[in-house]
Structure 1
């Protein structure tokens, strides 16, 4: 029996963020990359994803995709068969985080979207990878494909996301939590918090990886997702 797998990208990401994982996961069932560009709130975006999703599926959420995964559970818990949370958090946005996001929105509204994207890259990867031209090009390429209008709507949705920590105990499906050891955006402490709050969740801390562990250490992440899917 095959299991449909739904992969939800993060902020400023396209399907390319999962390029290393899709070929490995196809053996278990049809793989779909969610369109997370419709809507201006977590509720609206999650509803648009669920509208087009299979009746039941294994759910993988990266960063903003993780925030959306929690909202999808609120809207359609019975459809999610497995859950993988990748470099994300169950916490609501902090005042400091919201201020930074509003500053990035303001830059974008001023026609400086490229600057907002460039400024966000160093914080998105392990310190050893800040000079990695291929990773930076991927970061810029995905953001450009989504565009400034989508960026503003997604940032607005992220700022308004609810605190999902009170609902962790209600998650009863097999859950994998993965985080880069130097993730500065959704820190390892937040990953440990999610894993501790979800019964029997498996926590994996990826070495020499930041927020973009999916591509920084793609072999490790792919192996973990493959094992999670196969069980």
Structure 2
């Protein structure tokens, strides 16, 4: 007897220097309703190339969730193949193109990271930009984040950091599928106001604000993000 899997195909796109551990709790918490798979965004020379790689092995139709850098890849997937996206979730990300200043900052960061010495990943100095103040003393969370960035390493840092982020306004305005825009209330890297602006581009979009969370919402408040994603998957 053949058993049919009625779960939705769900593609999860991690952020800058992130891997499948970013989505650990969502993969487990949604396993009864979604067949989740985390894409590897560590290899490629552009966001367009990453989108093509994801599409090459994706099911014909799928739910798509992109976090931070992965949100830009998700928007590029929508640009290339919007008809294949059943529903879209954008978490703690942006839709604005890089400014000349931001491009200069990225290039400077790549020069610094390319210098001889040990790649340190997510240092204690950087952590306050990524997590909410109450989580700064959560040693287990800090260790998980740092381990993830160290697994990705120097070459992925340089590769992902060099990729130009393009403006996503036109592609977001063109979408008709269900959309969730989610942001940690205390996200300082991609603030709530940016997500309000993003959600306003899509009449069908639902804006979800995760309390007591900074930028790393899937790891900082996994239960809240999982609940929001479950609702989104049933929309």
TM-score by length of 2: 0.92
- Does the alignment pair 1:83 with 2:75? no
3-state secondary structure, aligned to 1:114: coil
Which residue of the other structure, out of 196, 199, 205, is the alignment partner of 1:201? Answer: 205
- Does the alignment pair 1:149 with 2:146? no
| Separation of aligned partners in 2, 1:224 and 1:113 | 38
- Does the alignment pair 1:43 with 2:45? no
Which residue of the other structure, out of 53, 74, 80, is the alignment partner of 2:79? Answer: 74
3-state secondary structure, aligned to 1:36: coil
Tell me if structure 2 keeps the 8 A contact 1:108–1:116. no
| Separation of aligned partners in 2, 1:74 and 1:111 | 39
| Separation of aligned partners in 1, 2:81 and 2:175 | 12
- How far the C-alpha of 1:3 sits from its partner, in A, is 1.6
Tell me if structure 2 keeps the 8 A contact 1:8–1:65. yes
- How far the C-alpha of 1:103 sits from its partner, in A, is 2.9
3-state secondary structure, aligned to 1:32: strand
- How far the C-alpha of 1:92 sits from its partner, in A, is 1.1
- Aligned residues between the structures: 229
- How far the C-alpha of 1:145 sits from its partner, in A, is 0.9
| Separation of aligned partners in 1, 2:201 and 2:92 | 16
- How far the C-alpha of 1:125 sits from its partner, in A, is 0.8
List runs of 5+ in structure 2 lacking aligned partners.
Answer: 1-5
Summarize deviations over 1:48-97 as a string: whole Å, max 9, x none: 11111111100000001100000001111111000000000111123443
Tell me if structure 2 keeps the 8 A contact 1:60–1:69. yes
1:157-196 residue pairs with structure 2 within 5 A? Answer: 157=163, 160-196=164-200
- How far the C-alpha of 1:117 sits from its partner, in A, is 2.9
| Separation of aligned partners in 2, 1:64 and 1:113 | 24
List runs of 5+ in structure 1 lacking aligned partners.
Answer: none
Which residue of the other structure, out of 52, 60, 74, is the alignment partner of 1:55? Answer: 60
Q: Which protein is bigger by CA-based radius of gyration? A: 2
